[in-house]
Amino acid sequence: MAVGASLFDGRFGLGSHRPRALVVMPSFPNDVLDPARCHGDLLVQVCAGDVETVRSVLAELAVPGLVPRWRVEGFRDQNSVTGDGRAVDRNLFGFRDGAGNPDVRDAAEMERLVWVGADAGEPAWAVGGSYQVVRIIRFATALWDGESVARQEAVFGRRKSDGAPLGLDREDAVFDYGSDPSGQVIALDAHIRRANPRTPETAGSRILRRGYSYRGGVDAAGRRDEGMLFICFQRDVEAGFATMQRRLAGEALDRYVLPVGGGYFFVLPGVSGGDGDYLGRTLIDAAG
């Protein structure tokens, strides 16, 4: 899935052309990062409808001088349905990831939260790109599976059947946390409440998530290595993911997850379709 700190380190000689906000992913509270599964000079994400196609493409991507650092094979299966019969992708905890994402059809919302703009203080070649955060998050599935559904729902703050916030009837319903100041309906340490408190001060820290599940066998102690390959996009890592991650410190979900790897990367702007244009042309031109 990934050949994975920064794409733009010193060996590329970008100097002042380096993206302003791209730094090595730090260790946050509850992280136990394995250096062998972190960072890298280039992230390659290959997606297809079946795993054999992905593996075939990866086999063709061998480039002299590039050595794979880490790799995760993720999957997104429509493996369940909501209470109202909609097909959904559920993670290995049985909940759908991505509920509460900003609307990708809203161009203004994407410009505000996801795409690097000309007003962001970035080098010109980065405008139209996006910062990508990748996190390998191991799940304590045996511990989680031993919990009641009511406990699981309290940890996330959503119903397991259809993803609706507790106390509401639709996944896209907006919970008014001001009406529940003591957490009687949605606990104060519930994941959705910490991730997006829905206040004017936190509106700018929303991210666009697209996660994948993974299963990697068992470790030396016989425990399953499985969980989520968390991926998100934002116009500024500090304003987006990092700010949100600090809010999540001490959340109820911490007991069941263990971030072990990943990194910060930058997704290049797309191509214009014009003659002579190609992915990364503006970056190559800037690097001289």
Q: What pLDDT digit, counting tens, does each position of 69-107 carry?
A: 899 999 987 766 666 666 778 999 999 888 889 999 999
Structure-block tokens of residue 21 = 């906000």
Which one-letter amino acid corresponds to residue 195?
A: A
**Percentage of the chain surpassing pLDDT 90?**
60
What's the CA gap between 37 and 71, in Å, rounded?
8
Q: Which residue has the tokens 């992905």?
A: 54
Q: What is the pTM of this model?
A: 0.88
Decide: helix, strand or coil at residue 233.
strand
Structure-block tokens of residue 67 = 């050595």
What's the CA gap between 90 and 97, in Å, rounded?
7
- Picking from 8, 2, 155, the residue whose alpha carbon sits closest to that of residue 70 is 2
Q: What pLDDT digit, counting tens, does each position of 251-277 carry?
A: 999 999 999 999 999 999 988 888 888
